[in-house]
Amino acid sequence: GDSVTQMEGPVTLSEEAFLTINCTYTATGYPSLFWYVQYPGEGLQLLLKATKADDKGSNKGFEATYRKETTSFHLEKGSVQVSDSAVYFCAPGGSQGNLIFGKGTKLSVKP
């Protein structure tokens, strides 16, 4: 069945450090791929998405590229800020219409 494996956290970085959160998935066909972010005390909101192979999604300085050959969608940011502290979820679109969520990666950015 459809599944996703996401880098376990928590991840603690200093401000302006480089961030990578790994995500690989197993899915039938060619799903769209999503990254969601959950700030403390809030619901999930879409961070970025990619709908086909080699697409790059980007938003707020975050990027992720749809790698069909490696079934991966790693999240990157060149210089993190304290305000990026949150939980990040990788989520491919499942074959049943749902989104398959990873367990989430908690990021803490220290000043």
Partner 1 sequence: EAQVTQNPRYLITVTGKKLTVTCSQNMNHEYMSWYRQDPGLGLRQIYYSMNVEVTDKGDVPEGYKVSRKEKRNFPLILESPSPNQTSLYFCASRNTLGRRSEAFFGQGTRLTVV
Q: Would you say 92 and 1 are in contact if contact means Cβ atoms under 8 Å apart?
A: no
∠ CA 22-106-85, nearest 5°, is 110
Beta carbon of residue 16, minimum distance to partner 1 (angstroms, whole number): 29
The nearer residue to partner 1, 104 or 107, going by C-beta atoms, is: 104
Q: Is 11 in the site for partner 1 (CB under 8 A)?
A: no
The nearer residue to partner 1, 51 or 81, going by C-beta atoms, is: 51
DSSP class of residue 84 equals: G
Q: Is 57 in the site for partner 1 (CB under 8 A)?
A: no
Q: Is 71 in the site for partner 1 (CB under 8 A)?
A: no
When binding is defined by CB under 8 A, the residue of 19, 24, 34, 74 that contacts partner 1 is 34
What's the token pair of residue 24? 């690989």
Q: Is 98 in the site for partner 1 (CB under 8 A)?
A: yes
When binding is defined by CB under 8 A, the residue of 46, 54, 82, 110 that contacts partner 1 is 46
∠ CA 14-19-20, nearest 5°, is 150
Nearest to 58 by CA among 42, 78, 40: 78
Q: Is 102 in the site for partner 1 (CB under 8 A)?
A: yes
